[in-house]
Amino acid sequence: MSLTIGTKAPAFSLPATDGREISLDTLKGRKVVLYFYPKDDTSGCTMEAKDFQALKADFAAADTEIVGVSPDPLKSHDKFRAKYGLDFSLASDEAKAMLEAYGVWVEKSMYGRKYMGVERTTVLIDRDGNVAQVWNKVKVPGHAEEVLKAAQALDA
């Protein structure tokens, strides 16, 4: 399933770091960047997290919350956050229900072997809970800056 810009973002409720429960309802009224990534502490995922962290103050100034989502357990998220000084929430979707609802749990292929995994995707949600923009098959370099510009433009 692919997301359509302007439609309601799929509802979700997930356990997150800092003992939080994150849901679309608790985020309503703010803009939200949901970035879906395959695995904690791998090179691309680390670079992406560090890029979002570097721009966290700019996202905060744009009243935009950053939430990283992967199927890794909270214990893994906690280690990942501590190791790289990440100051935003990471949500755990071990059941993969949200990943499927957002269309990012897909069949992948590496060296001819097929397997299921997270397709690196970012979704920008507006203050009303609607999908404002979607980036599929994200290439990490420059991506966080592009998402920030889109978040800033939502209120312009």
- The per-residue pLDDT for range 48-83, each reduced to its tens digit, is 999 999 999 999 999 999 999 999 999 999 999 999
For the chain, strand residue ranges (E) read 13-15, 21-23, 31-36, 64-70, 89-92, 105-110, 113-118, 121-125, 131-135
Distance CA 109, CA 97 (A): 21
Q: How far apart are the first and last CA of the chain?
A: 30
Supply the pLDDT for residue 1. 59
Supply the pLDDT for residue 155. 78
Query: Which tokens belong to 48?
Result: 């992406």
- Cβ contacts of 84 within 8 Å, gap of 6 or more: 46, 49, 50, 53
Catalogue the active-site residues: 45
Under 8 Å between Cβ of 126 and 103: no
Residue 18 binned pLDDT confidence (cut-offs 50, 70, 90) = confident
Query: Which tokens belong to 77?
Result: 């998220």
